[in-house]
Amino acid sequence: MLHIRQADPYDVIIVGAGPGGASAAIYAARAGLRTLMLDRSVMGGALARTSHIANYPGLGYREPLAGTDLLRMMREHAESLGARMVQSQVYGVELEDEEKSVVATDNVYTGRALIIATGAGSRDNKLPGEEEHLGRGVSYCATCDAAFFAGRDVVVLGNSYEAVEEAAVLARQARSVVVVTGSSRMLADKHEVDALLSRGNVSLRLQHTPLAVVGEQVVTGLRVRTPVGHEETIPADGIFVYLPGAKPATEFLENKVRLDEHGYIITTENMETSVPGVYAVGDVRGRPIRQVVLAAADGCLAALAAERYLRHTTKTTSQWHS
């Protein structure tokens, strides 16, 4: 795929647009920095899988608020201040130069500072055949790859809002879409699930445990265990995987910043990594307590640190005004 750098570098590129990334974008944009958020999903990540936010300051005492609603508000807040949101999968980074490069599905973006907010939802318990077929039928981004499966049969693995959203993207081009989950229910809103299933080419299989990706040179299907314990293969040309994990999503960094023994990014109290101008926030840092409010606080600190770095000053622009 041809990658074209943008004409001028961003001041701040944020990889991941969950609560940490969105918070960083809000503070960076308010400081007058040209800000870009990159995320593979409009509604992915741990917050989007949370059905009820009960302890976020100012919101928990009200009517139940879904994580997707809070995430949407955070991103819209950032965009209202001038931050740009691009839905794209990030595959790599180059951090040696003063301008950092981020290799994404649609482009190579450059920025003078980089904030990593990719969370800890990556998986190390891959299905047999999954890694071998990556790029040969296995994908993690329908928005990126749906066009390759026009008129073909695909399977979507997962029961999250993200899985439903991506299945809807695929349904516009694929011949058939089968949503498969080992769970007995979908986590996404019933309205969203019903809207998806109202499409004539989408079906849902609950309590079907995925066992393996089937195929030789390319994907030919997904082997599953049915609710009654039988094994069968669902024919498919493509398998889109949206299964949650608990591993830090740092593979795309290729150890270009310092990690701990578990793969989490090591930072200072100001979210600085081992590379000047590169910061990390939220669950990708690794800590025993994972809360939305802590990720948002990390984002604030990282953006203020990035501003100091970019302006070559130790003084932070006041953000107290409303």
Going by C-alpha positions, the residue among 27, 1, 28 that lies closest to residue 12 is 28
pLDDT band at 318 (very low <50, low <70, confident <90, very high): very low
Amino acid at 49: R
Q: What digits encode the pLDDT tens for the residues 237-271?
A: 999 998 888 789 999 999 999 999 999 999 999 99
How far separated are the first and last CA of the chain, in Å rounded? 44
Is it the case that residue 49 has pLDDT exceeding 60? Answer: yes
Q: What digits encode the pLDDT tens for the residues 105-132?
A: 889 999 999 999 999 877 778 899 999 9
- pTM score, two decimals? 0.78
What's the Cα-to-Cα distance from 293 to each of 6, 18, 47, 297, 320, rounded to whole Å? 33, 11, 11, 6, 18
Q: Where are the alpha helices (DSSP H) in the chain?
A: 19-30, 67-80, 142-145, 161-171, 190-197, 292-311
Q: Tell me the percentage of the chain whose pLDDT exceeds 90.
A: 69
Amino acid at 22: A
- Known catalytic residues? 141, 144-145
- Which of the residue ranges 9-13, 42-46, 86-90, 160-164 would you say has the lowest mean pLDDT? 42-46
Spatial separation of the C-alpha atoms in residues 109 and 7, rounded to whole Å: 10
Read off the tokens for 227.
């609710």
What the chain holds in terms of domains, given with CATH numbers, is 10-122+246-311 (3.50.50.60), 138-241 (3.50.50.60)
